[in-house]
Amino acid sequence: MEITLESTAELLLQHANIVVTAHIHPDGDSLGSMLALSAYLTAAGKNVRLLLDDEIPKLYGFLPGINAIEQPDSRKIKADLLVILDASDLERIGRVKDAVDAPILNIDHHVSNTKFADYLFLDSRSAATGEIILRLLKFLKADITAAIATSLYTAIATDCGFFRYANTSADTMRYCAELIDCGVKPHLISEELESKPLSSIVNLSKILETLDLFYDGKIATITVTAETMADNESTEGFINYPRIIEGVEVAIMFKAADNATCRVSMRSKRLDVSKLALSFGGGGHAKAAGCTLNGSLAEVKAKVVAAAIKELQGMKHG
Amino acid sequence: MEITLESTAELLLQHANIVVTAHIHPDGDSLGSMLALSAYLTAAGKNVRLLLDDEIPKLYGFLPGINAIEQPDSRKIKADLLVILDASDLERIGRVKDAVDAPILNIDHHVSNTKFADYLFLDSRSAATGEIILRLLKFLKADITAAIATSLYTAIATDCGFFRYANTSADTMRYCAELIDCGVKPHLISEELESKPLSSIVNLSKILETLDLFYDGKIATITVTAETMADNESTEGFINYPRIIEGVEVAIMFKAADNATCRVSMRSKRLDVSKLALSFGGGGHAKAAGCTLNGSLAEVKAKVVAAAIKELQGMKHG
């Protein structure tokens, strides 16, 4: 059932024991939204647990309260409400689905939301779930501490590519202005998120050597092998290099997840890559999406590039 | 004489023939501010000429009206007022100084401003001269067209590193929100500015191979030779790679300008590199500065790195 922001606030106020979770492969928006909402709920006297069925990338270690996030185990968790943030599909929360038996409130901004929850607040015009959480906290007249503001700024800034993606709206900017008024230091957040180990910069040249162009230069790919990844924790941001090349419409990064699986990230200028990702069982936004496929890097690359060419041909004639 | 924003507006309204210029080595802020102010002045019935003693980087070709900017020649230009934007020193406008004989109005945000002008509006809290021009146009109740807004957004966004530098304030965000309301598409501006020719991405790996660390990893340098530059128009952004390495306090890029001269760009996290640049005859901001030195790449590198080490030692003990 789709509900209003007001009903979402009421629902949260009505329950005492609340579990907050978000999608696997966590990003700035899912983590920042979890931490901001739980900081408010805790201050409001709720008993809150933060669960996430994945490792937390070290990059987000600076977010206030991040160590409180637990991974679910086989034990069942009693709760009155399970709040699922920034996930458009129940499968996206992994084992948390089985660990918690409670009515589900889903707060999300993905247009691809499958409407699986008991209660859904969906606003696909928001650049980030963090924008919705800020609106919610303002409606609840919450005290937006510097810690909460830092989490929300990280959520919003990361999901709009630090104000470089098409989802960046005047509201996005105004929300971030309010968060700066609450104590956010934009450059400190940006330094944390941009900071890369020396090895990552050194490896960047190796990864750039894998640059490959297809379909008259409209598709650019890079490939990250397990060897390159050995001393390279994060591949965050590498996809931007093929993306910014003149004439490139679709950038794709292929990354060996393990021997039999590849993680695929896609970025585009005009083409809706969420459809492409969805066709391989993934998801995301029109201009930034991803999926995971079985197969070697070469196999997955051939398959996804062929599908991308087909989509681009469709766009041309459509 | 330092004047108020109100007096600055009056001064512009009083004169009919106005030349607008800005500093050499033009950037987004100087060009965007020139174009926004001149678009307003032209609409207000003024006779405006845009002069700049330098080439305009192709990157800014998308700015509305950019082709109207002329380079000065030996002919004298008659004008009632010379408006110098975003330049802290009279030397920074090159030959425009000699081409125009008129009272000077200087609008600037550099704390290092030498107060050379007849009339000066200086606000060093502004992230960009573009912010000041927006305030001026709002005070003048100007019609902020999508074209003017695009120039001002480019001015502001480039000078605060797309909202990643320490000068990014709540006001910066609010101004940009207003400009989005006036028709700016942030992602289109970002695509224009980020877009790089294929050769630039290919050369990036070569440039990353020149990465050098000094003073326990607190200084990171890259070097751009004339050979690397042969098929590489712009080195814009390369300095970010050494800058984001964990533990790096000062990033420096050395670029061969010609056989006998090197252009040096500096970025820092805490150290005031404008002092360092000033000691070599350059200038800039605390966290982003630059200078030009005579000598080979190796000579200039040795000299500047030694001075940077000294500054870092001073910071430690200071």
Instruction: Count Cβ–Cβ pairs < 8 Å, chain A vs chain B.
Output: 128
What number is the average pLDDT over the span A204-232?
87
In chain A, the residue whose alpha carbon lies closest to the alpha carbon of B179 is A170
Query: B19 and B81 in contact (C-beta within 8 Å)?
Result: yes
The CATH number assigned to the domain holding A272 equals 3.10.310.30
Give pLDDT tens digits for B153-182.
Answer: 999 999 999 999 899 999 999 999 999 999
Regarding whether A284 and A252 lie in a shared domain, the answer is yes
pLDDT tens per residue, range A119-171: 999 999 999 999 999 999 999 999 999 999 999 999 999 999 999 988 999 99
Residue matched to tokens 């709720």? A46
CB contact under 8 A, B269 and A191: yes
Same domain, B254 and B306: yes
Residue B254 above 90 pLDDT? yes
Which 3 state secondary structure label does DSSP give B270? coil
Q: Does B177 contact A174 at a Cβ distance shorter than 8 Å? A: yes
Residue pair A217/B198 in contact by the 8 Å Cβ criterion: yes
Q: Which residues of B touch A201 (CB under 8 A)?
A: 208, 211, 241-242, 244-245
| B241: closest chain A residue by CA | A201
DSSP B116-155: -SSEEEE-TTSS-HHHHHHHHHHHTT----HHHHHHHHHH
Looking at A193, A222, A244, the residue that finishes a domain is: A193
Best mutation target, B164, B189, B192, to test chain A (most A CBs within 10 A): B164
Q: Directed axis angle between helix B146-159 and helix B28-43, to 10°?
A: 160
- Overall number of domains in chain A: 2
Question: What is the domain extent for residue A90?
Answer: 5-193
Same domain, B89 and B148: yes
Q: Are residues B185 and B212 in the same domain?
A: no
> Are A228 and A234 spatial neighbours (Cβ–Cβ below 8 Å)?
no
Nearest residue to A103 (alpha-carbon basis) of A205, A188, A168, A19: A19
**Minimum-distance CB partner of B170 among A177, A201, A209:** A177
| Contact (CB<8Å) A202/B186 | no
Distance of CA A110 to CAs A122, A226, A279, Å? 8, 31, 16
- Name the minimum distance, in Å, from the CA of B214 to any CA of chain A: 13
DSSP SS3 for A274:
helix
Q: Are residues A171 and A273 in the same domain?
A: no
List of chain B residues whose C-beta atoms are within 8 Å of the C-beta of residue A205: 204-206, 208-209
Predicted local distance difference test score (pLDDT) of residue A253: 96
Check: CB of residue B184 under 8 Å from CB of residue B156: no
- To the nearest whole Å, the CA of A80 is away from the closest chain B CA by 38
Residues A42 and A185 in one domain: yes
Would you give the DSSP letter of residue B297? Answer: H
Q: Are residues B38 and B149 in the same domain?
A: yes
Residue A161 with chain B: CB contacts under 8 Å: 190
At residue A234 the predicted structure's pLDDT band, cuts being 50, 70 and 90, is: low
The reply to whether B135 and B250 lie within a common domain is no
d(C-alpha A55, C-alpha A48), whole Å: 20
Segment B61-72, tens digit of pLDDT: 999 999 999 999
To test the contact with chain B by mutation, choose from A153, A159, A168 the residue with the greatest count of B C-beta atoms within 10 A, namely A168
CB B72 within 8 Å of CB B95: yes
**How far apart are the CA of B216 and the nearest CA of chain A, in angstroms?**
13
The residues, any chain, with a CB within 8 Å of residue B256's CB and separated by 6 or more, are B224, B225, B226, B229, B262, B297
